[in-house]
């Protein structure tokens, strides 16, 4: 049996989501936009899923727009605001997911201001607020970093943005199902991070916010995303959100993992609040990539950071922004827990890690 400790990349499919998916596929359902009985059956599945996602986020269902995942939701928010404003500056943190950073940089005619973080991996709310001004079209700050798990001051930044009338985009992908989803003008979720099938996600749009559609051509999703809704996988997404509200807290399990790490381990972001499932750690004289491969061969799935950056030649931009030298950034490994994680998973890792580290250190000399 393998041990899966990479839930920040993709969580395992929940049984509730699988059951909802199977039931939806077996239903006599048609196009959710059709008026006949089959269409109404599909529409009912979509709207039930919308209600479940809204309940997890603490928002009215009408604010939930379904997407194919976090990256699409971010692109829809960035381009949707950019196409409706004459302002030409976007303020983001330097440790945002690449979907935010590259998406903002790719907007033609816009200046992107990146606010740095401190060595703990946390952005200072006052420093972020100082970058805001009358020419800012949009601000973006993640709820929790996907590599370190460090929580960001979203509420404080949101208050500053509201006072200036600047929309705030929050990437809540890593907190949904683990902590309360923050309220903001635009909030992004990804279904496969919390036990739904890949290809599901949501963009929560505050009522009254003008947003141009990323995908035009249909009246679906209140004209914010054209195209027939994938009702079966959305039913699974909704079921995963409903189940996530009853998950046991992961902090105790994460603490068990960190307490048992070998001496010399450096946990990044340990001095500030983090999402309770994530441990980003470096070991002296050990390549993170080498260790992840060794762990995989031993039956344990972990990662060196963001799955979207896997295989990249450059070290983590997040750890570099925290001031780590390149060799230390390259040594980092991320262990992330999820709804299916157990004490056995943690103990299996801790039992095999010292030997793997010893062999990796010897191989590097």
What's the pLDDT score for residue 67?
Answer: 98
What's the pLDDT score for residue 363?
Answer: 58
Check pLDDT > 60 for residue 307.
no
CA distance 302 to 349: 10
- Cα of first residue to Cα of last residue in the chain, in angstroms, is 32
- Domain match, 123 and 230 both: yes
Average the pLDDT over 318-325 and give the result.
Answer: 94
Phi/psi for 137 (5° steps) reads -85, -30
Domain that holds residue 329: 3-11+248-363
CA distance 268 to 259: 14
What would the pLDDT profile of 209-221 be if each residue is shown by its tens digit? 989 999 988 889 9
Check pLDDT > 80 for residue 314.
no
Positions marked catalytic? 308
- Domain match, 259 and 231 both: no
Check pLDDT > 70 for residue 133.
yes
- CA torsion 343-349-354-358 (nearest 10°) is 180
- Domain match, 204 and 93 both: yes
- Domain match, 166 and 290 both: no
Secondary structure class of 209 (helix, strand, coil)? coil
Task: Among 244, 275, 307, identify where a domain stops.
Answer: 244
- Confidence tier at 360 by pLDDT (50, 70, 90): confident
Counting every residue written for the chain, the total comes to 365
CA distance 319 to 334: 12
CA distance 146 to 203: 18
What would the pLDDT profile of 195-210 be if each residue is shown by its tens digit? 999 999 999 999 999 8
Q: For the domain that residue 330 is a member of, what is the CATH number?
A: 3.90.1150.10
What would the pLDDT profile of 55-102 be if each residue is shown by its tens digit? 999 999 999 999 999 999 999 999 999 999 999 999 999 999 999 999
Check pLDDT > 60 for residue 294.
yes
- Domain match, 340 and 298 both: yes
What's the pLDDT score for residue 100?
Answer: 98
Q: For the domain that residue 142 is a member of, what is the CATH number?
A: 3.40.640.10
What's the pLDDT score for residue 315?
Answer: 85
What's the pLDDT score for residue 350?
Answer: 98
Check pLDDT > 70 for residue 306.
no
- Domain match, 202 and 123 both: yes
- Confidence tier at 327 by pLDDT (50, 70, 90): confident
What would the pLDDT profile of 256-284 be if each residue is shown by its tens digit? 999 999 999 999 999 999 999 999 999 98
- Domain match, 22 and 119 both: yes
Number of structural domains, the chain?
2
pLDDT > 90 in the chain, percent: 90
- Average pLDDT taken over every residue of the chain: 94
CA distance 311 to 325: 19
What's the pLDDT score for residue 364?
Answer: 52
- Domain match, 122 and 51 both: yes
Strands (E), 78-196: 89-93, 111-115, 136-140, 168-171, 186-190
- Confidence tier at 28 by pLDDT (50, 70, 90): confident
Task: Among 210, 244, 278, identify where a domain stops.
Answer: 244
- Domain match, 197 and 253 both: no
What would the pLDDT profile of 169-185 be if each residue is shown by its tens digit? 999 999 999 999 999 99
- Confidence tier at 344 by pLDDT (50, 70, 90): very high
What's the pLDDT score for residue 313?
Answer: 56
Check pLDDT > 80 for residue 311.
no
- Domain match, 228 and 321 both: no
* pTM of the full structure: 0.94
Contact yes or no for 302/295 (Cβ under 8 A): yes
CA distances for 85 relative to 128, 164, 213, angstroms: 21, 15, 14
Average the pLDDT over 327-345 and give the result.
Answer: 95
- Domain match, 84 and 181 both: yes
Task: Among 211, 228, 244, identify where a domain stops.
Answer: 244
- Confidence tier at 44 by pLDDT (50, 70, 90): very high
């Amino acid at each position: 049996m393998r041990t899966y400790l990479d839930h920040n990349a993709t969580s395992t499919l929940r049984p509730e989501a699988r059951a909802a998916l199977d039931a939806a596929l077996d239903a006599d359902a048609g196009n959710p936009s059709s008026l006949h009985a089959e269409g109404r059956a599909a529409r009912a599945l979509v709207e039930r899923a919308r209600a479940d996602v809204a309940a997890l986020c603490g928002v009215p269902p009408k604010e939930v727009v379904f997407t194919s995942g976090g990256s699409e939701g971010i692109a829809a928010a960035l381009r949707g605001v950019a196409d409706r404003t004459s302002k030409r500056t976007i303020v983001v943190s330097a440790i945002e997911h690449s979907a935010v950073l590259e998406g903002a940089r790719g907007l033609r005619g816009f200046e992107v201001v990146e606010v740095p973080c401190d060595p703990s991996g946390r952005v200072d709310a006052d420093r972020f607020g100082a970058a805001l001004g009358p020419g800012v079209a949009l601000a973006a700050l993640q709820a929790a970093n996907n590599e370190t798990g460090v929580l960001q001051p979203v509420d404080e930044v949101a208050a500053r943005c509201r006072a200036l009338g600047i929309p705030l985009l929050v990437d809540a992908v890593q907190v949904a199902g683990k902590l309360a989803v923050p309220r903001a003008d635009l909030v992004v979720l990804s279904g496969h991070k919390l036990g739904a099938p890949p290809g599901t996600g949501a963009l929560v749009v505050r009522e009254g916010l003008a947003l141009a559609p990323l995908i035009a051509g249909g009246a679906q999703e209140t004209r914010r995303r054209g195209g027939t809704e994938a009702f079966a996988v959305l039913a699974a997404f909704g079921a995963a959100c409903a189940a996530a509200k009853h998950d046991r807290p992961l902090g105790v399990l994460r603490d068990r993992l960190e307490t048992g790490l070998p001496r010399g381990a450096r946990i990044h972001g340990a001095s500030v609040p983090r999402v309770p499932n994530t441990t980003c750690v470096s070991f002296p004289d050990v390549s993170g990539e080498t260790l992840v491969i060794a762990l995989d061969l031993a039956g344990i799935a972990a990662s060196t950071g963001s799955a979207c950056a896997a295989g990249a030649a450059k070290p983590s931009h997040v750890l570099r922004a925290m001031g780590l030298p390149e060799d230390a950034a390259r040594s980092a490994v991320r262990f992330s827990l999820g709804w299916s994680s157990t004490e056995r998973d943690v103990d299996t890792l801790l039992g095999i890690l010292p030997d793997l580290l010893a062999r990796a250190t010897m191989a590097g000399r």
